[in-house]
Structure 1
């Protein structure tokens, strides 16, 4: 029996005037996944996340979160969602602890439970030393952790993050990625929109590529890379004779660089054992190999091939 998806979207359309921001979009986000949404500006990423988070109403189609339909059962769905937008309007004069306690009160927690949840989140994100620090005095990376902590006050099943590390320095980004993975490992489903392809590669267990308001592709990072590109093995040999020897006896689809007679490139198919066959062939000229490089397709290749307008 297939488990209920964390988010199930069927035929989702959102129209602004005569333009469809989303066009009959259907998508499933599996529980426990780290699903990253990619797409060019205007592809519909933010609109999609806002509809899932119940901030916008679809023109047509349905969205369910953990079984609750986000229009007809918006209150129930909203309780299961934590949202970290691109920029949170946190009170700059409030302290970290006060922001979390205020959020708990806004969500209906009594004072005792709001204080308990605040302590838990301060410990979870290493923010205890900043509990009495005003938001305005926090670094960008620490403030982003507070944004995420605010989204988790109600212990949501689904956490939505829109461009979560925009503006953070490299070390803060690494730290924040670790926090997201730890959160995911504790049971939360993450739905992330980003323009940063490296971030997507680091975080994603599943990638959704949007193009013109619909899903162009969905799959694991590795499956999408294999779909649009190929692994290549490049060898630089001591002389042209060695490359010709290799080409003459190769069992795999080798090809020589036309302007570099000492260079041979091997396009590796996605089948199991392809690399072993290639290495067996290379063994006969091993003494003539000066350089060997294995190149994998990247998410840049995926984006160019699948997200183009």
Structure 2
């Protein structure tokens, strides 16, 4: 484990009979990151998270959480982790206050401390008005907030979330994403599994892509998209003469090309000076531009590339 990593997974294998759910998987999760694990159904996401959370034991390999082996020192590792499972497991007849207080007492907190912690969490998640409402009568988004609050009762430095926004409506998802970003402050580490590529792009500081139980790519969303291709600026110009003039006079150090009479595509780099030059050139042709469109590779493109190439980059930033 490096000085900045909080979770280290080495040569992890989990077998069920003759099938390997995880196959010699290795990765690190950096302290304070929002690490999102992506993969198709059966890729091994939930199995990986459950082993890290000490809910399953590996067939071989090791997992350490802040230096604690999750098999030989499971209790110490478990104290550092809050878990929000994929399926809501809350008592439907209990209220948020009851659920949170019970969790605190179950974790060994004094009842007065548990009650104070419950009040703080209800306020943190804006649940004061629903604190006496039965879980079964809450909206899906509010129930997920209670799930997350339960994971935070012990104030863990690491929170693991297995497909946390599945089934939520778009507004509830946005609110939940904001909660996760806020919780990521103060060096708290979030480890999240999802099949939603847009969610990963919005949330992740680091993305891990699993395929058949192994890591096939890892890096920041931006670095993975750069691996696939470049940002492209497409200009639609008024006529062919303007198009050719732009192509011959542009000073921008980008590859400019056209396969249509009135369209120019610029493959953009991220160099600030180069971008400034490109914008200056475009400004000189402002009257001749009818269309202006910026596109960039997406995580969907990353998945397509990984499917075609079999393996991608690792540990890109």
Q: Place the TM-score, normalised by the shorter chain, in its bin.
A: over 0.9
1:222 Cα deviation after fit: 1.1
- Give the 3 Å change call, closer, same or farther, for CA 283–101 of structure 1 in structure 2: closer
Partner of residue 6, structure 2: 6
Deviation at 1:4, TM superposition (A): 4.4
**Structure 2 residue 54 is matched with structure 1 residue 54:** yes
Correspondences of 1:74-153 after superposition (within 5 Å): 74-153=74-153
Spell out the pairing of 1:9-28 with structure 2 (5 A cutoff).
9-28=9-28
Q: Which runs of 4+ in 1 moved over 6 A?
A: none
**Structure 2 match to 1:252:** 254
Q: CA deviation at 1:83?
A: 0.6
- CA shift, 1:268, in A, is 2.0
SS state of the match for residue 103, structure 2? Answer: helix
Aligned counterparts of 1:82 and 1:35: Cα–Cα separation in 2 = 15
Stretch deviating more after TM superposition (285-294 or 237-246): 285-294
1:116-148: per-residue Cα shift (whole Å, max 9, x none)? Answer: 211111111111221111111111111110000
Relative to 1, partners in 2 of residues 1:8 and 1:133: Cα closer, same or farther, differing over 3 Å? same
Equivalent residue number for residue 315 of structure 2: none
Partners of 1:120 and 1:284 lie apart in 2 by 57
Bigger mean CA offset, 105-114 vs 263-272: 263-272
1:187-207: CA deviations, max 9, x gaps? 321000111112111111111
Asked if 1:299 is matched to 2:299, the reply is yes
CA displacement at 1:22 relative to structure 2: 1.2
In structure 1, what is the equivalent of residue 206 of structure 2? 206
Is the contact between residue 209 and residue 307 of structure 1 (CA under 8 Å) also seen in structure 2?
Answer: no
User: For structure 1, which runs of at least 5 residues remain unmatched after alignment?
Assistant: none
Deviations 1:1-40 (A, max 9, x none): x524111111111112222221111111111111111112
**Inter-CA distance 241–56: structure 2 relative to 1 (3 Å threshold):** same
State the match for 2:238 in structure 1: 238
Query: How far apart are residue 271 of structure 1 and its match?
Result: 4.7
In structure 2, what is the Cα distance between the partners aligned to 1:75 and 1:174? 34
The alignment's C-alpha RMSD in Å is 1.9
Task: Indicate the larger mover: 2-11 or 83-92.
Answer: 2-11
Does structure 2 conserve the Cα–Cα contact (< 8 Å) formed by 1:209 and 1:306?
no
